[in-house]
Amino acid sequence: MSAGLQKRWFITGISTGFGRELARAVAQSGEKVLGTVRKAAQIAELAAEGIDAIVMDVNDQVAVDEGVRAATERLGGIDVLVNNAGFGMVGAIEALSLDEVRAVMETNFFGVLRVTQALIPAMRASGGTIVMISSMAGQIGFAGAGAYCASKFALEGLSDALGEELAPFGVNVLIVEPGAFRTDFAGRSMLAAEGSVDAYAGMQAGEAKHRAASYSGSEPGDPVKGAQAIVDIIRAGNMPRRLALGEDAVNGILHKLANVKNDVETWRQASLGTAFA
């Protein structure tokens, strides 16, 4: 769909946080939006704001297939898919159980894949935009957030490949990488590993949950402005592959890329010396 025309948005996970603000921004712009929630009671609350919602669990393939079909029928088609549903998990990697890591990957990666695969055929036929809500943690590995970082790194690799695959069909893939925004993400929505390892006491890896909770409510990013930035860029049409949101995300990602560049250049000869003579 061309820039400036009315778009139809399907957003996963709109009960709180970025998803909620993004749904509000789209609705206020006059465009059609339908979002997903996990509890039926949340539908009426959203309806009071003029936002339509359906119950859909991204971890349930049957629910995803039915939800995408329902959303397509109610909206008359989908121009913009926003994969926003997800959650955070903190804890030293040594302390995480495999089940805890799998749970993060199931929602943050496989949940996104389920929804995206369900919509790809229609988007190949008509074009559109797929928005992946990643994180600056999709570029930077943080001590105490290894499981979450792994899920977002995986999401970014998938998104880059998907962007190359769908470009010939007129489908854009936008990866959004927010820093710390004043949502509930670092508060009650943040899960922590059940186990702990005494060796990490006093370190970021061992204190990540406490530090995130103490930071919750004072993050520098305004989710209303962040959501509006996403809407504005999509409506403008000529969008980037990646959009960092927030000064912390911009500075952190640029610092990481500078370190990568330095490592590659410093060890260039060792790298190039591996070729056949």
Judge whether 275 lies within some domain.
Answer: no
User: Any idea how long the chain is?
Assistant: 277
Task: Note whether 234 and 167 are within 8 A (CB).
Answer: no
Given the residues 7, 148, 151, 200, the one annotated as active site: 148
Would you call 134 a catalytic residue per the annotation?
yes
How does pLDDT run along the chain (277 residues), one tens digit per residue? 445 578 999 999 999 999 999 999 999 999 999 999 999 999 999 999 999 999 999 999 999 999 999 999 999 999 999 999 999 999 999 999 999 999 999 999 999 999 999 999 999 999 999 999 999 999 999 999 999 999 999 999 999 999 999 999 999 999 999 999 998 777 667 899 999 999 999 999 989 888 888 877 788 899 999 999 999 999 888 899 999 999 999 999 999 999 999 999 999 999 999 999 9
Answer yes or no: 152 catalytic: yes
Q: Which of 7, 32, 152, 209 is catalytic?
A: 152
- Note the pLDDT of residue 185: 79
Q: How far apart are CA 89 and CA 109, in angstroms?
A: 14
Q: What is the pLDDT of residue 154?
A: 98
Q: Give residue for tokens 């996403």.
A: 230
The pTM score is 0.94
Q: What is the largest CA-CA distance in the chain?
A: 70
Neighbours of 244 (CB within 10 A): 21
Give Cβ neighbours of residue 261 (< 8 Å, ≥ 6 apart): none
Q: Which residue among 134, 135, 151, 216 is the active-site one?
A: 134
Domain that holds residue 195: 8-270
CATH number of the CATH domain containing 87: 3.40.50.720
> For the chain, how many helices (H) and strands (E)?
10, 9
Instruction: Please report the pLDDT score of residue 4 as a whole number.
Output: 55
pLDDT of residue 1: 45
- The total of structural domains in the chain comes to 1
Residue 2, in any domain of the structure: no
